[in-house]
């Protein structure tokens, strides 16, 4: 079908999240703030930055 139509089929490769968290932000949230990796993975970039800012300003 792809030869005839010229369209490559979806092979199920994982798609990158449109707003992936920077690695250093993830590392700080896990090691400094003490969050679990699944909790960090579920956050948007804005949520992650807000959580880290709260840690720096309030210490929690």
pLDDT digits (tens, 9 = 90+) for 1-60: 567 788 887 777 777 667 889 999 999 999 999 999 999 999 999 999 999 999 999 988
The predicted model scores a pTM of 0.68
Q: How many domains is the chain partitioned into structurally?
A: 1
How far apart are the C-alpha atoms of 52 and 60, rounded to whole Å?
Answer: 9
22: containing domain: 18-60
In a domain, residue 54? The reply is yes
In a domain, 59, yes or no: yes
Cα–Cα distance between 38 and 22 in angstroms, integer? 15
Q: Determine, yes or no, domain membership for 10.
A: no
- Per-residue model confidence (pLDDT) at position 17: 62
2 domain residue, yes or no: no
Phi then psi for residue 6, to 5 deg, are 75, 15
Instruction: Decide if 52 is inside a domain.
Output: yes
Q: What is the pLDDT of residue 10?
A: 77
For residue 24, tell me if it sits in a domain. Answer: yes
**Contact by Cβ (8 Å): 11, 5:** no
Q: Residue 5 is inside which H or E element, if any?
A: helix 2-5
Query: Is 29 within a domain?
Result: yes
Residue 26 falls within a domain, yes or no?
Answer: yes
């Amino acid at each position: 079908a792809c030869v005839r139509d010229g369209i490559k089929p979806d092979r199920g490769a994982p798609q990158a999240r449109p707003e992936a968290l920077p690695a250093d932000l993830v590392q700080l949230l896990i090691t400094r703030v003490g969050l679990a990796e699944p909790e960090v993975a579920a956050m948007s970039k804005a949520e992650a930055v807000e959580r880290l800012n709260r840690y720096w300003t309030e210490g929690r």
